[in-house]
Structure 1
C-alpha cells in the first residue's frame, strides 16, 4: 500500500501552519469584536495571543511524540482508548466541511462588497477558491507546503503595509472609554476568536509527512506563533486606535483600515489580501482534514474506501473528492437561502473548542513533565470558559460526540510513540 511522503521541511510546516491559523478572521473579527466590546476587545485578542503560545507548544509536544495523520484523534485514542478516538474523528466531520466554504465565502464576500457583485457571483468565486485548494492538495503535500509558504509571505507583507499606512491615523483617545458595554462581550469575543486562532492542530495531521518531525514540528510552530501574534495584535490595535470599526456598515473592517492610508488604492490591496488569506486558510484546513479522514479509515473507524492514496501523488484523493459534496451543500445554502456567515462560523467554532478541550485532556494524561501539563491545563481552562459563550452552537459538538461514542469500535489499537 502507498504511504504518505516524508517531504515537509520546518519552513514549509511553518507556512502551512501560519496559512491555517492566520485565516479569514483577520478580515472581519477585529472590527466585529471592537463593535461588541469596544476597546476592551484588546483584552480578548491579548488573551488569545498569549494562549497561542502554550497551545502551539502543547500540540508540538503531542505531534512529535505521536506523529500520526490522525492528529487530535490519535492523541485522544492514545489517552482514552479507541471509542474516544472514534468520537473525535466524528467530531471533525463538523469542522472543515463547513469551515472551509465559510472561509471561502468570507474572502469572496470581501471582493464582492468592494466590486459590488451579486450574491451569485460571490458564491461562484468561493467555489473557484475551493476547487483550486482541492486540486493543489491533490498534487502533494510538498507542493502544498511551498504554495502556503509563498502565500504567507505575501499576506504578511500586505498586512504590514496596511497597518503602516494607517498608523498616522491612530489616536490614543480612541481607546476610551475602555469597556463601554461591560465585560460580558469580552468573553463572547474570546469565544468568537477561536475562529481566528484555531489551526495549530493541523500540523499534527501532517506530522507523518515531516522529514524530521521531532525537530521540525517545534520549529514550525515556534515561528508560526511569533508571526501570527505580531500580525493579529498589530491589526487590532490600529483598528481600535483609528476607530475604523465605527465607520458605517460592518463587514469590511480591513478595507476601511487600509483606506485610511491608501485611499482608493486600498480597495485593490484589501481584495488581494482577502483572497490570499482565504485561500491559505482553506488550503491548510483541507490538507489536515484529508489526512485525518485517511488515518481514521486506515484504522477502521471510517469506511476503508477513504484509506487509499493516489498512486502518483500519495495523497488521500478519495477524501478530497468527497469534500466536494458538503462544499456544494454549504455554497448552495448560501446561494439559495442567504444563510449568514455568522451562523456558518459559530457552529464549526463550537466544535473546534470542544476538540481543543479533548486535546488538552489528552495532553494532561500523555505528557508527564510539569511544564507540559501546566500548559495543557491553561489552554483547557480557557477553552472551557470560551465554550460557555457559544450558545446553541454547543448542540453540534454534543450531537456529533454522542454519535461517535455510540459507533464504538470492536478492536483495540496500540498507540505508536516515537
Structure 2
C-alpha cells in the first residue's frame, strides 16, 4: 500500500503557505500597481490583504471538511458533481505550468540585471531554479516543508531590511495627488494583485499530509495571513512613499528601495531575495499542483498514469517529470518569441480568479454554519468583482472550462481508492 505520508505540522504548513503566497509578485507588483494607479495603489493592496482573510479562512475550513489532495477540484466535485471536478482539474492545467516558469523568470531577471546577463542567460538560470524545485519536491513533503520554512525566514528578514533602509526616504508629498488616474486603475490593480495573493488553496492539496489537520491547518493559515499581510503592506507603502516606482520602468522597484541606503550591497541583497522568493513560490506551486494531478488521476479525471506515488518517497514523481515539458515550452517561448512577463502573469491570474470563485461557491454550498457561509459568500463576491478587470486574459479560463466540459467524465465507480494505488 502506497499513500501520501502524514508528516506535516502547522510550522511546515505555514512555511509552505507563506512561500506560495509571498511570491514573485512582491518583486514587481508594488511598482506595476503604483505605475498603474499612482499612490491609490495602496488601497488595492489593503483591500486584497483584508480580503485574503475570509478566503484563507474558507480554504482552511474546506481543507478540514474535505482533507483531499485534489483541493478545489475535490470541493467542486462534492458540491456540484463529477463534471465540475473535471472542469476544475482542467483549469488547473492552465496555471502552474505557466506560473512557475514566470516566477522563475522574475527571480532570474533580478539576478541578470545585477550581473548584466543576456536574455538567454536569464532563461538558463530560470530553468535551473525550476529543476531545483522539482528535485527538492521529489525527496518528500517533509523535506519540502523544512526547505520552504527556511526560505520564508530568510525572505522575511531580507524584506524587513529593504523596508527599514527605505524608510528615511519616505515623503508625504509622494502621496499627492492620491488618485492621479481615477478609480478604474485601482480596480485593475486589484485584479492584477490576485497574482500576489493566490496560494491559500495549496493548503487543501497538502491536507492529506498533515498529522492533525483540524488543529494545524487553521494555525498555519493564521500565521501565513499575518506574515504575508504585514510584509506586502510594508513594501508597497515604502515603494509609493519613496516614489521608487518612478525610478525604474522594468518593475524592479525592490532593488531601488534597498539601493537607497545600501548601494551595491543592496543590489546583492535584492538578488538573493529575488531568488529565494521565486524559489519558494515555485516550490509550493509544484508541491500543490503535483498533488492535484495525482488526486485527479486517482478519481479518473486525468490519465491513470499519474495515479502513482514513489514507493519510498511517497511523492507524485511522474507529475514532476511531466512538468518538464510545459516548463521548457514556456521558457522557450520567452527565449524565441520574447513573450513578456506581463502576458505570462495575466493568463494564469485570470484562471486563478475563476478557481477561487468556484472554491468560494463550493464552500457556500458545503460548509455548515452561518459564519462559514458568510465568509464564503464574501470571498465569492471579491472574486467576481476581480473578474470585471481581467480583460482579454479571460479567454484562457473560458477555453479551458469548455475543454473540461467537452471531455468525457469517467463513471465515478471507476475511481481508484488511495489504498489500492501502488
Assess same fold via TM > 0.5: yes
CA distance in 1, matches of 2:402, 2:272: 42
What is residue 73 of structure 1 aligned with on the other side? Answer: 73
Q: CA deviation at 1:282?
A: 0.1
Aligned residues: 415
Structural mapping, 1:303-322, within 5 Å: 303-322=303-322
Instruction: Give RMSD over aligned pairs.
Output: 1.1
Structure 2 residue 350 is matched with structure 1 residue 354 = no
- What are the residue-to-residue correspondences of 1:193-204 with 2, within 5 Å? 193-204=193-204
Task: Please state if 1:174 is matched with 2:174.
Answer: yes
* Structure 2 unmatched runs, 5+: 418-422
Q: Report the secondary structure of 2:412's partner residue.
A: coil
Shift, 1:273, TM fit: 0.2
For 2:207 and 2:141, the matched residues in 1 are separated by 11
Q: Which residue of 1 aligns with 2:343?
A: 343
Please give the alpha-carbon distance, in whole angstroms, between the structure 2 residues aligned to 1:225 and 1:183. Answer: 26
Structure-2-length-normalised TM-score: 0.97
1:8 equivalent to 2:8? Answer: yes
| Structure 1 unaligned regions, length at least 5 | none
Q: How much does 1:408 deviate?
A: 3.9
Matched, 1:268 2:238: no
Separation (CA, whole Å) in 1 of partners of 2:68 and 2:248: 48
Deviations 1:91-144 (A, max 9, x none): 000000000000000100111112210000000000000000000000000000
2:330 alignment counterpart: 330
Q: Distance in 2 between matches of 1:381 and 1:248?
A: 35
Say if 2:65 and 2:367, in contact at 8 Å, map to a contact too: no
Q: Is the 8 Å Cα contact of residues 60 and 217 (structure 2) preserved in structure 1?
A: yes
Counterpart-to-counterpart distance in 2, 1:261 and 1:241: 15
Q: Who is 2:420 aligned against?
A: none
Alpha-carbon distance in structure 1 between the residues aligned to 2:310 and 2:96: 21
The separation in 1 between residues aligned to 2:152 and 2:311, in whole angstroms, is: 30
1:407: how far off?
1.8
1:10-60 deviation digits (Å, cap 9, x = unpaired): 000000000000000000000110000000001100000001110110000
Name the SS of the counterpart of 1:264 in structure 2: helix
2:69 is paired with a residue of what secondary structure? Answer: coil
User: What's the counterpart of residue 398 of structure 1?
Assistant: 398
Does the 8 A contact of 2:301 with 2:410 survive in 1?
A: no
Q: Residue 243 of structure 1 corresponds to which residue in structure 2?
A: 243
- Partner Cα distance (1:210, 1:261) in 2: 43
TM-score, normalising length: structure 1: 0.98
Distance 1:219 1:34, change over 3 A: same
